[in-house]
Structure 1
Amino acid sequence: MKNLKSIILGLALLVVCGAVKANPIPDNESLTATHAVNTYVDAITRGKLAGLNDVLDQTVKFSMLRGKKMLSFDKKQMMEFFKGDKNVEQTCTTSTDIVESNADIKVVKVDMKYDGFTRSNYVTVTNTGDGWKITNVYSVFK
C-alpha cells in the first residue's frame, strides 16, 4: 500500500510538473487571418488601433478607386491616416464575407454601408510564415 501511494504521488507530481512546464503559444500563432481582419475592421470603423501595426505586412499596399482615379498608399501613409481617425466611430453598418480562402491566402470583402453609398474593401490576408498579415487592401466606392 505504501508503494502504491508513492507511485501515485510520483505520477501526480510528474503530471503537475509537465503542465507547469508547458510552452506558451508564440506571438505569431496569435496572428490568425480572423484576428488580422477583425483588427483592420476595428481600426477602419471604430478607430481602434491596438494591434494594427502587427497585422499589416511591411509591404502592404492600399489602393483606392475614386471615380476614374486610382490612389495608392503604403503602410506608413495609412498608419498616419489611421492615427488621425483614432477613436472615431464611423456611422456605417459593416459586414464581412470571405471571397476566397486556402491554406496560404484569404480574400475578405469588408462592406461599410453609409447613407447613400457603400465602401467595399477587398482585404488580402497572407500566411507569411510569421503569422497571417494583411498584404493588400483595395477599396471601391459605390
Structure 2
Amino acid sequence: MKKLKSIMLGLTLLLVCGAVKANPIPSNENLTATHAINTYVDAITRGKLNGLNEVLDQSVKFSMLRGTKVLSFDKKQMMEFFKGDKNVEQTCTTSTEVVESNADVKVVKVDMKFDGFTRSNYVTVANTGDGWKITNVYSVFK
C-alpha cells in the first residue's frame, strides 16, 4: 500500500510539474490589428520584443527612404536589428494615426518625433489567415 501511494504521489507530482512548465498555445484571437501595431510601437520605441515575431508576417518588407535612396530589409534582417536595440528606450514622442482601414487591410502612420527630425513609419497590417499581421513598413525621415 505504501508503494502504491508513493507511485501515485510521484505521478501526480509529475503531472503538476508538466502542466506548470507547459507553454501556452498561441491564439490567433490575440492577433488583432491594434495588438500588431502596439507590439510594433513597443519594439521600435522601447525595445520590447515580446510578441514581435508573431505579429510580423513571414514575407514582411521594411523599406526606408534615405535621401534619394530606398533601403529594403526582410524579416530576418529586421529581427536582428531589433535584437541589437533590445530594451533601448528612444527619446521621442510617438503618435499613431489610422490612414486607411477596411475589413482586410489597415495602414497606420506611426510618427516618432525626435529633437530635430521626425521618423514617419507607414505600417500596413493585413488580416491574414493567421490573424492580423504586419506585411509592410515604409519609413521616411523629415
Please state which band the TM-score falls in when normalised by the shorter chain.
0.7 to 0.9
Question: Can you list the C-alpha shifts for 1:52-71, whole angstroms capped at 9, x where unaligned?
Answer: 00000000000000000100
Q: Which residue of 2 aligns with 1:45?
A: 45
Cα distance in structure 1, aligned partners of 2:55 and 2:47:
15
Q: Residue 107 of structure 1: CA displacement?
A: 0.1
Q: Which has the larger radius of gyration?
A: 1
Cα distance in structure 2, aligned partners of 1:115 and 1:30:
35
Q: Which residue of 2 aligns with 1:108?
A: 108
Superposition TM-score, scaled by structure 2 size: 0.82
Whether 2:83 is the aligned partner of 1:88: answer no
Structure 2: tracts of 5 or more residues without a match: 1-25
Letter in 2 for 1:93: T
Report percent identity of matched pairs.
89
Q: Which residue of 1 aligns with 2:63?
A: 63
Once superposed, what is the RMSD of the aligned Cα atoms? 1.1
SS for the counterpart of 1:39 is helix
Cα distance in structure 1, aligned partners of 2:77 and 2:122:
19
Letter in 2 for 1:106: K
Letter in 2 for 1:38: N
Structure 1: tracts of 5 or more residues without a match: 1-25
Letter in 2 for 1:90: Q
Q: Which residue of 2 aligns with 1:97?
A: 97
**Aligned pairs, how many?**
118
Cα distance in structure 1, aligned partners of 2:30 and 2:86:
24
Question: Can you list the C-alpha shifts for 1:12-50, whole angstroms capped at 9, x where unaligned?
Answer: xxxxxxxxxxxxxx7011100000000000000000000
Q: Residue 91 of structure 1: CA displacement?
A: 0.1
Q: Which residue of 2 aligns with 1:136?
A: 136
Poorly superposed stretches of 4+, deviation over 3 Å: none
Cα distance in structure 2, aligned partners of 1:108 and 1:97:
6
Cα distance in structure 2, aligned partners of 1:56 and 1:104:
16
Superposition TM-score, scaled by structure 1 size: 0.82
